Amino acid sequence: MLESIYHTVLAFSLLICFLSLFATKKEELPVHRLIFVTMGWVLVFESYGLITARQGINNSLLYNVSWVYIESTLLITYFYLLEKNTLFKKRIIQISLFILSLGLVNSIFFQSITHSLQYYTLLPFGLLIVILSIRLLKNILNLKLYPDHNLMEIPHFWISSTVLFFYIEALVLFGTYQLNPGFVVKNVNILFSINKLMAGLMYLFFGIAFIFPHLTKNLNILKTGLVFLFIITNISVIFSFPLKF
């Protein structure tokens, strides 16, 4: 049931993201297109992952390549395009190449890319994405970016916020599995339901964030409703599956 809702959200968000391309300002098009490509990529590999999972096929290779490496690179590129500091942009490229090198070493000597999720590669990628999310949010809040815009109407405020929350949750979840796999296995339903919920909300905002600037009097109602949905769904999931220690 949750998988069906998740994939429906992905498809819906991809459609909205595509339609909103036609109303996006020229200067925002490269970033918007990148988000659209990212959404399309996620829908493809998540759909294939669902099929292989139902067939009992180990899809570690799929998720390592598609999520840990490719999607991480796409998101880092997103933050790179929004970065105004030339020196920091060079640092992003250097750190990304270094992490890719670590991923190669990890695949050869430590965690097989075909057998399990490569957390040792996900961790540095995830930390970089978290840092870039915080940096973008800081620049927006300090009015270094979009100083003449209403905060709630800035698509990148919503995108970077949801990326931040999702990657913190994902790093904690898969990090816990590395340290205490028994706990995760006992609570697999609730933990991975929360993970899918956070991912679904992130991709939902990927799709609808670019229509916010075009909303006027109904914007506050929509924002309040989305925040309320976020809180209620998290609470409902947590209390639906009691944790086992």
Report, in this order, helix, strand and coil percent for the chain, each rounded to 5.
85, 0, 15
CA distance 201 to 196: 8
**pTM given for the model:** 0.88
What confidence score (pLDDT) does residue 236 get? 44
Token pair 């599956």 in the structure block, residue: 241
CA distance 239 to 147: 41
Rounded mean pLDDT of 43-68?
94
Instruction: Please check the confidence at residue 235 and state whether its pLDDT lies above 90.
Output: no
Q: Is position 245 within any domain? A: no
Rounded mean pLDDT of 120-146?
96
Q: Is position 96 within any domain? A: yes
What confidence score (pLDDT) does residue 222 get? 55
Q: Is position 152 within any domain? A: yes
Q: Is position 122 within any domain? A: yes
Which two structure tokens, joined as six digits, stand for 81? 């395009």
Tell me the residue range of the domain where 14 lies: 2-240
CA distance 60 to 53: 10
Average pLDDT in the chain: 88
- CATH number, domain containing residue 135: 1.20.1070
Rounded mean pLDDT of 119-136?
97
Which two structure tokens, joined as six digits, stand for 115? 């057998």
Contact status, residue 133 vs residue 160, Cβ threshold 8 Å: yes
Number of domains forming the structure of the chain: 1
Q: pLDDT tens digit string along 154-171?
A: 999 999 999 999 999 999
Q: Is position 34 within any domain? A: yes
Rounded mean pLDDT of 43-60?
93
Rounded mean pLDDT of 120-126?
97
Q: Is position 226 within any domain? A: yes
Alpha helix segments (H runs only) across 23-118: 29-54, 60-63, 72-82, 86-109
